[in-house]
Structure 1
Amino acid sequence: MKEDKKAASITQTDEKDVQVGIITDLDEGEVFLHQHGYTNEAVQALLDDELRNKALVRRVDLVLLPLLAGTYTLQYIDKSALGYSAVFDLLSSTHMTSNEYSWLASIFYFAYLLAEYPWNILAQKTRLGKVVSGNVIAWGAMLMITAACTSFTGMGICRFLLGVFEAPITPCFMMIVGMWYTRSQQPFRAGVFYSCNGLGAVIGGVLTYGIGQIKTIAVWRAIYLILGGITVCWGILMFVFLPDDVISAKRFNIEDKVLLIGRNRLGRTGVINHKIKWYQIREALVDPQVWILFLFTLLNEVINGGIANFSKLIIKGLTDDALTTVALAIPMGGFQIFYILSGTFLASRFRNMRTIVMFMYLMPTIIGTCLLWNMNHETHKVGVLFGYYICGAYVCSLVLALQMPATNLGGYTKRSTGVALVFLAYCAGNIIGPHAFLAKEAPIYQTGCKLIVSCAAAQAVLALCLRMLLISRNKKRDAAASHEGVEGISQADELADLTDFENPNFRYVF
């Protein structure tokens, strides 16, 4: 009886807010439905139309995925410009030591760490699409400016600002996927754009190989100028075509938007709410799920920080030619595409397989790193290369971990905070990773290999812990619902911007 009164009270308050046009606790998707007179029955009728649903998903894919994929391809290439440049004449031209080079890799993520959450708040309170596209243009311009540097100091400043401008991209993309797709569709869509890291490795390798033929200016300067110019042009396209959210998207009519909101309702995570809710931030900070994902991502990116910045130097130890080094790095991109797309497909295709896939795809990383570590780099060059190519499987586990907060946290502010915390770990790991690769241990980097194996093993344990936690939560909610004989609140969970803790109808995916 008390619960019924509470639900009725919430519903009355929500209806009043809609009538006077004030957005407080309501998700803005629900406000849109009220403003256009769509009842639950009308929304359900649209959801029942399978052909219309499939056609709409195809349209969303055509609008969003090329933009997200193109941006991610360029982001990887631009982020890797430092590694490509190091193969050529960057260190000698700027008089940098190997230790200073390691710090350049970390400086980027210090900036990422500082800027990411402010950008997330700005994106929530203003226009997400414009925040993203503006930053794409800014980081392209910063790449071009980097070509003018002549010392470690100048490179460090440019690298810091590059990190500032790249900081909102991945968190915002995860929020975009969470906004436009159902929970079962999210892993593969995130995998599509994240696999473009691999595509970026392939395209970046080919581009750099071509740029490496230039004789008129320093090759590393040409790399930064050309890549920066391409990125600025792409940012302008993003500014024109990337929608800010479902509700304001110009290429979808009212019925399309109603259907998208209805599809989002299925996961009970909400579409968007521009109001920052401090209690939801506190709830994210005490949620064990968030901290398991935080630790998982931290360890994953310790691996990435080392491999991303030193892998090409490992290959360089197998050959004396810079162009051959670039060419041998290209297949790694193809392997990454395979790992990410296959893993995210399995996670989307089979129910509650995400944590199992996260566990499975750490195994090739352990095996590949052991090959890099223990095989003779002079007599077993093919085996060392194979180990290098397969060790990139950890990236698939990362993609699924990064998508988890957007999928498994209710309440827009809590979801945004969870995503931000996980990306703080992303930055911290990338700061730590490069410093385990000691110059005196080149080209094998034994300490770095030991760290990678340890981190991957710890991640495997964390993936299983996360699975057990989420299964336990779902069982408790199912038992409570069965005992009460009802599904708990009804109207409030559909209309209010509730967190997963507040909404007894919420079920976790694992």
Structure 2
Amino acid sequence: MEIDKKPPVDDTINEKDVQIGTITDLDEGELFLRQHGYNQEAIQALLDDEPRNKALVRKVDLVLLPLLSGTYMLQYIDKSALAYSAVFDLLPSTNMSSEQYSWLASIFYFAYLVSEYPWNMLAQKTKLAKVVSGNIIAWGSMLMITAACSSFTGMAICRFLLGVFEAPITPCFMMMIGMWYTRAQQPFRAGVFYSCNGLGAMVGGILTYGIGQIDTIAVWRAIYLILGGITLVWGIVMLFFLPDDVISSKRFTLDEKALLIGRGRLGQTGIINHQIKWYQIREALMDPQVWILFLFTLLNEVVNGGIASFGKLIIKGLTDDSATAVALGIPFGGFQIFYILGGTYLASRVKNFRTVVMFVYLMPTIVGASLLWKLDHEKYRIGVLFGYYIIGAYVCSLVLALQMPATNLGGYTKRTTSVAFVFFAYCAGNIIGPHAFLAEEAPIYQTGVKLILSCSSAQAALAVLLRFMLARRNKQRDAAATAIGQVESSIAQSAGADLTDFENPNFRYVL
């Protein structure tokens, strides 16, 4: 990237960072500071201004969170359109079998799997918000097209393309949260937009219940047409109002941008770098932390794949009325909001508490799955329903696991690669999960429920392993820093460089 001709204010640029007028190894936030004359003293003065910091965080919240939250609510409702339609007249209208329905759930995540990393690379190289907004418009359009399908083949094609267009949303949102907030603030902000899955479950249930009263066209077609139209309009709103990054946003002053970059420096993770660095990709794939998060997310989404696709059919087994089954599913969303906001708030407020929350919030899932498995679904309908409501606590653990790569790794390319890699597991788990729910075992689905118990128990062990590994890394780095004597200027210098956590001895992991 070309730099301004005026000399940099800070003279701590390494020789390797300057090559014929081009700075290659600095984070672009650091370049912005140097080009506009912000030295370390000026940044520290901004960071010490507590009222200014609080006002800026409120402004970022108002600009960013409503857009992310609204998108996430619609994404959940749109992904659930298949499940809502199955409760009504989708299967007989399209002559689909239960096995074909299971494949529709998986096809979506096959598309996710192949599309996610290319979208992520495009978002890094170009404009992140424009990639997101364009895909929202495309997936809304695809929902409306789905209403014209009359067979499994047509549904499968539309479902695949829907997965292609939804693939970049969550990884890009996690990178946005990592860009705009400090590490301490990131879990709760990620929880705010992710909890809109729960809000989506509630709003989607109410909306679908109302659509279910339509008798002029097939209910499932009306579901896809109405939801697709809403999403299409929302995508246009996002196109105009979602900022691409801190540096290019027109809603913030120079001082506000400098302060946001300075706050990003505190965690040694940087803000943004459009240059793809292949060695950081290799390092991401060799990092045990990334692999633990990969396995954790894989197991989590095996659980989610089953619950998302068959949860409403479990409820339908408790009542003979389709509309009542949809209505009984609404509290599930409320429970998810409670779990996600409660858990991510604790993770943000209590230092090094994230892996503890990841562990604890798997316990209700284990209890809920046990109730679904062991209780008689005819005699203890309320107990079964309660088990279904509390089983969704695992989503809080997922939010923290998905947010961890953007928070807990250095180097922009390493972070984007790790976020994408963990989302590969997200896709694979959702592909696997629905196939453990066997049609002949309805409405209890014993095999699927036993798989949920196994996966959530293994996740709990992985959360403990992750905590011990990160604590050990921090202890080793603290000992090394004490031995050589850590210099404050070197900490500031490394914060401005696009270094990975392995390269940067000043980097500390959050637990």
**Paired letter, 1:258:** A
Rounded to whole Å, the distance in 1 between the matches of 2:267 and 2:345 is: 19
Rounded to whole Å, the distance in 1 between the matches of 2:106 and 2:191 is: 26
Structure 1 residue 11 displacement after superposition: 2.1
Map 1:12-411 onto structure 2 (within 5 A): 12-14=15-17, 16=18, 20=21, 22-411=22-411
Map 1:493-504 onto structure 2 (within 5 A): 493-504=494-505
Residue 451 of structure 1 corresponds to which residue in structure 2? 451
Match of 1:11 among 10, 14, 28: 14
Please give the per-residue CA displacement for 1:288-329, whole angstroms capped at 9, x wherever unaligned.
000000000000000000000000000000011000000000
Matched-pair contact (CA < 8 Å) for 2:265–2:496: no
**Paired letter, 2:34:** H
Q: 1:9 to 1:208 in 2, by over 3 A?
A: closer
Rounded to whole Å, the distance in 2 between the matches of 1:136 and 1:23 is: 35
Structure 1 residue 23 displacement after superposition: 4.1
Residue 4 of structure 1 corresponds to which residue in structure 2? none
Structure 1 residue 491 displacement after superposition: 5.6
Structure 1 residue 215 displacement after superposition: 0.4
Please give the per-residue CA displacement for 1:144-202, whole angstroms capped at 9, x wherever unaligned.
00000000000000000000000000000000000000000000000000000000000
Please give the per-residue CA displacement for 1:223-260, whole angstroms capped at 9, x wherever unaligned.
00000000000000000000000000010011000000
Partner SS for 2:329: helix
Q: Please list every run of 5 or more consecutive structure 2 residues that lacks an aligned counterpart in the other structure.
A: 1-10
Rounded to whole Å, the distance in 2 between the matches of 1:491 and 1:358 is: 32
Matched-pair contact (CA < 8 Å) for 2:269–2:495: no
Matched-pair contact (CA < 8 Å) for 1:104–1:156: yes
Matched-pair contact (CA < 8 Å) for 1:205–1:330: yes
Partner SS for 1:267: coil
Structure 1 residue 9 displacement after superposition: 8.8
**Paired letter, 1:404:** M
Rounded to whole Å, the distance in 2 between the matches of 1:128 and 1:491 is: 27
Structure 1 residue 24 displacement after superposition: 1.3
Rounded to whole Å, the distance in 1 between the matches of 2:23 and 2:321 is: 62
Rounded to whole Å, the distance in 2 between the matches of 1:490 and 1:44 is: 13
Matched-pair contact (CA < 8 Å) for 2:137–2:232: yes
Matched-pair contact (CA < 8 Å) for 1:290–1:418: yes
**Paired letter, 1:352:** N
**Paired letter, 2:226:** I
Rounded to whole Å, the distance in 2 between the matches of 1:352 and 1:490 is: 21
Matched-pair contact (CA < 8 Å) for 1:115–1:167: yes
Asked if 1:427 is matched to 2:430, the reply is no
- Name the Cα RMSD after superposition: 1.3
Matched-pair contact (CA < 8 Å) for 2:140–2:232: yes
Residue 8 of structure 2 corresponds to which residue in structure 1? none
Partner SS for 1:378: coil
**Paired letter, 1:465:** L
Structure 1 residue 479 displacement after superposition: 0.3
Structure 1 residue 495 displacement after superposition: 2.7
Q: 1:487 to 1:440 in 2, by over 3 A?
A: farther
Please give the per-residue CA displacement for 1:397-431, whole angstroms capped at 9, x wherever unaligned.
00000000000000000000110110000000000
Question: What is the number of equivalent residue pairs in this alignment?
Answer: 501
Partner SS for 1:244: coil
Q: Please list every run of 5 or more consecutive structure 1 residues that lacks an aligned counterpart in the other structure.
A: 1-7
Fraction of identical pairs, as percent: 77
Structure 1 residue 26 displacement after superposition: 1.1
Rounded to whole Å, the distance in 2 between the matches of 1:23 and 1:59 is: 31
**Paired letter, 1:185:** Q
Partner SS for 1:273: coil
Structure 1 residue 486 displacement after superposition: 2.2
TM (norm. structure 2) is 0.97
Structure 1 residue 492 displacement after superposition: 4.1
Structure 1 residue 485 displacement after superposition: 1.8
Rounded to whole Å, the distance in 1 between the matches of 2:492 and 2:282 is: 25
Structure 1 residue 25 displacement after superposition: 1.1
Rounded to whole Å, the distance in 1 between the matches of 2:421 and 2:464 is: 20
Structure 1 residue 487 displacement after superposition: 4.5
Residue 6 of structure 2 corresponds to which residue in structure 1? none
**Paired letter, 1:424:** F
**Paired letter, 1:77:** I
Matched-pair contact (CA < 8 Å) for 1:11–1:491: no
Structure 1 residue 484 displacement after superposition: 1.1
TM (norm. structure 1) is 0.97
Partner SS for 1:509: coil
Map 1:461-476 onto structure 2 (within 5 A): 461-476=461-476
Partner SS for 1:268: coil
Please give the per-residue CA displacement for 1:347-368, whole angstroms capped at 9, x wherever unaligned.
0010000000000000000000
Rounded to whole Å, the distance in 2 between the matches of 1:496 and 1:349 is: 28
Partner SS for 1:419: helix
Matched-pair contact (CA < 8 Å) for 2:302–2:452: yes
Structure 1 residue 453 displacement after superposition: 0.2
